[in-house]
Amino acid sequence: MQYACPTTVDEAQSLLATDTNARVFAGATDLIPQMRAGRPAPSVMVDLKRIDRLVNIDNTAGTWTIGAATPTADITANTDFTKTFPGLAEASGLIGSDQIQNRSSWGGNLANASPAADTPPSLIVNAARVVVAGSTGERTIDVADVVTGPGTTSLADDEFLVEFILDTPPERTSDAYLRLIPRTEMDIAVVGAAVRITLDSNDKITEAVVAIGAVAPTVVRVTDAESALVGSSADDPSVLAAVAEAASVAANPIDDKRGTIAYRRQVAGVLARRAVTLAASRATA
């Protein structure tokens, strides 16, 4: 097995194009454990962290551009970003330990395509897009269109994630992400819920996006919960009950040693309701 550390997007793409068994990595916090567990090793490991564009954080003219290999520790340390996207920042800070977060990245968390990944629900509610590089050039797609199932994505063999794009939210808009894990830290989500809320001057919800994770093969948008929220107040008990019910119904989990189907559906409703309340309280601030 060979190791390569390209310094440009074109160089990385060329390595993938010339060897179908080459594989990119942004931190290797998933790749190395997978290899140790018996997954075949790639012929070439292509390290993306030497490419400046992939480890950059920029905010220009209301548009945030985050390199796909940027360590999550750098993202959570950016005070402007955490104030703008508190829920997404919190989700980023839940990936592994402090040591892991010096290597982990949004790109790896998304492309690994785990149903329990923490950042995809928050990226989706914030309408994040991602730039993808391949042999035919670059294309920009919604984050929601990347993962197609557990361990599978819509990317071609010679494609990789370059950078994420997010628009600065409008006034009185904020987000939240909550998850349930069996332990107090360093575990994967049994259920995760992300919400983004926009309020008018009378604290009525004008826009709502709700997504749940770890309860289906991919992140689930809970459109019935969104419909229940728009035009309502986030502190209305009947509205919150409708959100919880919609999230429970939208969940399509499995039974395993970490939780039953009934338990996960119940928790999905509870977390969605709580995330709505938290996001709305942040939006009023």
Does the pLDDT at position 134 exceed 90?
A: yes
For the entire predicted model, the pTM comes to 0.94
Q: Is pLDDT at 76 greater than 90 in this prediction?
A: yes
Mean per-residue pLDDT, 155-162: 94
Structure tokens at 30: 């998933």
What rounded mean pLDDT belongs to the chain?
95
Strands of the sheet with 2-4, listed across from one edge: 2-4, 44-47, 22-25
Given this model, what pLDDT does residue 269 score?
98
pLDDT digits (tens, 9 = 90+) for 218-270: 999 999 999 999 999 999 999 999 999 999 999 999 998 889 999 999 999 99
The mean per-residue pLDDT over the stretch 97-106 comes to 90
CB 210 within 8 A of CB 221: yes
Q: What is the model's pLDDT at position 26? A: 86
pLDDT at 169: 97
Burial of 281 (0-12, 13-18, 19+ CB in 10 A): middle
Residue scoring higher pLDDT (43 or 186): 43
Q: Write the secondary structure of the chain as one string of H (helix), E (strand) and C (coil).
A: CEEECCCCHHHHHHHHHHCCCEEEECCCCCHHHHHHCCCCCCCEEEECCCCHHHHCEEEECCEEEEECCCEHHHHHCCHHHHHHCHHHHHHHCCCCCHHHHCCCEHHHHHHCCCCCCCHHHHHHHCCCEEEEEECCEEEEEEHHHCEEECCEECCCCCCEEEEEEEECCCCCEEEEEEEECCCCCCCCCCEEEEEEEEECCCCCEEEEEEEEECCCCCCEECHHHHHHHCCCCCCCHHHHHHHHHHHHHHCCCCCECCECHHHHHHHHHHHHHHHHHHHHHHHHC
Mean pLDDT of 92-97: 90
pLDDT at residue 70 greater than cutoff 90:
yes
Label residues 80-96 b or e (16+ Cβ within 10 Å = b). Answer: ebbebbbbbbbbbbbbb
Q: Assess contact for 191 and 270: CB atoms under 8 A.
A: no
Q: Decide if pLDDT at 78 tops 90.
A: yes
